Amino acid sequence: MTKLTRRDFLRMSSVLGLSTALAPTLTACDAAGEGAFEGKVLIIGAGAAGMSAGYLLAQRGIDFEILEANSIYGGRFRVNKTFTDFPIPLGAEWLHVEPEMLDEIINDDSVEHNIELVGYTQDDVTGYYDDREYLTQPSGDSDLKFIGSSWFDFYETYVIPTIQEKIRTNIEIVEIDYSEGQVWLTDKNGGEYSAEKVIITIPLKILQDGDVEFTPALPQGKQDALDEAVVWSGFKAFFEFSEKFFPSALAFADSDTADGQRLLYDASHGQRSDRHILGVFSVGAQAEAYQAMSDEALKNSVLAELDEVFDGIASQTYVKHMTQNWNNEPYARAAYLEDNAPVWISREMAKSIEDKLYFAGASYTSFIDWSSVHTAARSAREAVDELVGQTGSLSFTAFLSILSAR
């Protein structure tokens, strides 16, 4: 088993002068080839991976249906459109790779999207507060934010119209039986569904908690991966202030640790809005610290921390706040696989079983990058390619050999 972790990889990449931009991109190939699969596919879950998988199957003319436990599609990229005058992403917020990723997801040269993205420039400031000292530097952030829209809006505009009638909501799958020719799924009300092949996009934490029974049991390698995976908790909050006193990003001594991360940031960055919204992003132990607080204690804690850095201005200009606790979402129950997980976990989780069960999702991938919307979309491509017998994506081994050859 390799001991390489994503952090190791990212460090190695920067030493080599590479970036995640090098990660293999999706190859555009879609028409079902000769001998292509012609049966029915069931997809469990309508998050980024499930919607992408359905969309790619639709492009190939393959019959499919998506069974979603929640009353709405989207999974971990839900949006609040009432807190302020632009969409607030409660889960996924940034695009962590090049903007061409959106075209890769659309995967259709005849479609031109009008999604606006904004990055960070040297004029944007990152602040760091530690030991009563506040330091600033120009932002080195390469992430992109959606202007006036979100990951959810992107999928709703460009993916959902193709697959909407194939999504069935309020269907929570609790049993997956692949012991015979067909795969049989059972939902929590006893409803049954069957297909030749099934793509599972249920979040890691739900499988880890044993909510879904597999017959026969999952192969030992996959069970080991599930047992060892550390899935970080997730919590976000958004604060409105009547003045803008905070930088693009504000980090503290505990902002990036082995157990989790947290960051305060300008959620209004690049928006056509005069509202001043500060986001609080946290995963892992840092999220759990916030989750343990009452709403009032959370508010006081964030304001006190900001008051200390900015001489009391936070309390004076506070307007309102809202929170999103991902551990309380019954069909997510966490944020995502920890950043520094060993690579073998997501690779093992991505492996198909008996040419019948395929896995797609942010943490089910052979790439050395996981836990983002783009990785969920790429994993869907991997699963669909494998399901229809095409190999459109570079394998992990091939990717490593590219790296070592440079």
Token code pair at residue 57: 């199957």
- Cα angle 13, 16, 19 (rounded to 5 degrees) comes to 40
CB of 48 to ligand FAD, least distance (A): 4
CB 282 within 8 A of CB 261: yes
Min dist CB 133 to ligand FAD, Å, is 28
Is 310 or 333 the residue whose CB approaches ligand FAD more closely?
A: 333
Which lies closer to ligand FAD via its Cβ, residue 94 or residue 129? 94
DSSP state of 219: P
Give whichever of 260 and 310 is closer to ligand FAD, judged by the CB atom.
Answer: 260
How much of the chain is helix, strand and coil, in % rounded to 5?
30, 25, 45
As measured in angstroms, the least distance from the Cβ of 346 to ligand FAD is 11
Select 45 or 270, whichever has its Cβ closest to ligand FAD. Answer: 45
Helix (H, G, I), strand (E, B), or coil: what is residue 210?
A: coil
* Shorter beta-carbon distance to ligand FAD: residue 265 or 310: 265
Q: How far is the CB of 257 from ligand FAD (least distance, A)?
A: 17
Min separation Cβ 253 and ligand FAD, Å: 21
Q: What is the binding site for ligand FAD (CB under 6 A)?
A: 44-50, 67-70, 75-77, 91-94, 96, 172-173, 201-203, 206, 212, 234, 236, 326, 331-332, 335-336, 361-362, 371-374, 376
Of 47, 321, 72, residue with least CA distance to 206: 47
Nearest-approach distance from CB 304 to ligand FAD, in angstroms: 23
Q: Is residue 243 a contact partner of residue 313, using CB atoms and an 8 Å limit?
A: yes
Identity (one letter) of the amino acid at 108?
A: D
d(CA 186, CA 28): 35
How many other C-beta atoms lie within 10 A of the C-beta of residue 329?
19
What residues contact residue 175 under an 8 Å CB cut-off, 6+ apart? 184, 185, 186, 212, 213, 214, 215
Give the integer Cα–Cα distance in Å for 378 and 39.
23
- Tokens 């052979």 -> residue: 366
Cβ proximity to ligand FAD: between 198 and 212 the closer is: 212
| For ligand FAD, the closer CB: 44 or 277 | 44
Q: In the bound complex, what is the minimum distance in angstroms from residue 367's beta carbon to ligand FAD?
A: 13
DSSP three-state, residue 294: coil
Which tokens hold the place of 384? 């669909």
